Every structure is written in structure tokens, then in C-alpha cells.
Amino acid sequence: MPRVATGESVLTRVVRIIEVFTASRRSWTITEIARAADLPIATTSRLVAELVGHGLLAREADGRVSVGMRLWELAQRASPALSLREAAMPFLEDVHHVVGHHVQLSVLDGDEVLFVERLSAPGAVINYTDIAGRLPLHASSSGLVLLAHSPPAVRQRILGRPLRRYTGNTIADPDSLRRVLAAARRSGHVIAEGHIHAEATGVAVPIRGSEDTAAAALSVIVPRETDAFALVPVLRTAARAISRALDRSSIH
């Protein structure tokens, strides 16, 4: 890949442009993209034009730029999470019918939890996560479950860095985090009361993969006054069913 004068590849710059698009900010002007991606406007304009030409980005009637349908198509066609979502969806719907609030499916991606599916409902308790959204591993019930069953090297990296505090209940102390992770491995679930938002409780269980690893996490977000522990058996039953469905899909 040819490199620009700074030593940064063109591909790296393209990735920086694509990464500015989020669930909360779906369209940008060229100037805004250049500022957010920390790129010259001329470079941004040229690369955006090429991405639009390939259908990876789209230019709207007012001149703003958004994600193109071809980028979505390629992501769906080759998504490593597609088989997980397909296996899990019937059971997510069952849990959602019981809980009536948010039901989420997430995976470990690098040092973050990545949410690959979410079911919600009008009037459900506040929830900051979106499909394709990310959170630090220490801050949510899903992240804590995944971190508890992650390789030791991942746990050590997280324990060795500053832990962002979202509320007064967010775990921000390494020793407290170690205790929570050990308890999660013993009990097979996490209940996180007010860790992301003071009014919400997250409950999560692992979806087991091969060799007793966590292939994913299944979680619900409910109001703080909910009897969260009563939801653990519901989640465990669904998680076991998803694990079996994943095993069957890997055979065929």
C-alpha cells in the first residue's frame, strides 16, 4: 500500500474516515469528517469521493456523507457474528418476552465488549448500548462476564490500566474487580446494579464455547427495583440453548 509523507498508509486513513460514523452520528460534512479523523480536507475529500464511488459511503441530497449500502452488505455477508446471531435470535426473543426490557448479545473484541444484537421495547429502562456499540469490559454485566472467562493476559491488561467510572457503582478499583471476576467464574453470572446508569441493572451469563470458554454473553437490562437474581435461571436456560444451537451449526 502506498504511503503518504507522514508514513501513514492510505488504508489507515480510509479506516479513520469510516470509523467516524456511529449509531449516534450517521452523517457528516466533509469538513466535519476531516476534523474528526484528523486529516487534511483535501485528502478527506479525495478519499471520500473514492469511497462513494465504490458504494462504501453515500452522498446525501444535502451533500452530507453517510455509510453506503455496499459497506453494510459486505459486513453482513462476511460477519463472524452472523452465525451467532442466527443461532441466538429465537432464544433472545423468548427472554425478551419474559423480561420485557432490553435483551443483549455481545462478544469480546480486543479489550472491549461489542454488542452484536439487542431487542428492546417502548418504555424499557434506559440503556446506553446499541447494536455495534462498545463498552469497556469492566463497566457492564456483559463485559464482566466476558472478562471473567477471558484469557489471563486480557484480564491483566484491564486490571493494569485506569478503570473509567460511569456512576458511583462502577467498579473502578483493581482489587474489587478481581473479586467480582472470581465470583463470576464461580457463580456463572454477574449482576451489575447501576454500573452504567444509576436507574438500571444489568444481568449477564456466559454462552459457553469450546473448552468451557465464553463464546459470547447474554444479558438483560432492567430497572433497579427488579428482582435481578430471579432472572438468572431464565438467562442460563437460554444461554445453554444457544450453546447447543451453535454446536449444531458448527457440525453442518
Residue type, 74: L
53 sits in which H/E element: helix 41-53
Q: Which residues contact 83 (CB under 8 A, 6 or more apart)?
A: 246, 249
CA quadruple 237, 246, 111, 129: dihedral positive or negative?
Answer: negative
User: Can you give the length of the chain in residues?
Assistant: 252
Cα–Cα distance, 167 to 198 (Å, whole number): 7
Bridge partners, 58 (sequence order): 66
End-to-end distance of the chain based on CA atoms, in angstroms? 38
- Tell me if the pTM is above 0.85: no
- 125, three cell numbers: 429502562
pLDDT recorded at residue 50: 95
16 sits in which H/E element: helix 10-18
pLDDT, one tens digit for every residue, the chain (252 residues): 334 445 689 999 999 999 999 877 889 999 999 999 999 999 999 999 999 999 999 999 999 999 999 888 887 766 666 688 888 999 999 999 999 899 999 999 989 999 989 998 877 777 666 666 889 999 999 999 999 999 999 999 999 999 999 999 999 999 999 999 999 999 999 999 999 999 999 999 999 876 667 899 999 999 999 999 999 999 999 999 999 988 776 544
Helix axes 232-251, 82-99, angle to 10 degrees: 160
- 78, three cell numbers: 462476511
Cell 469490559 identifies what position?
Answer: 137
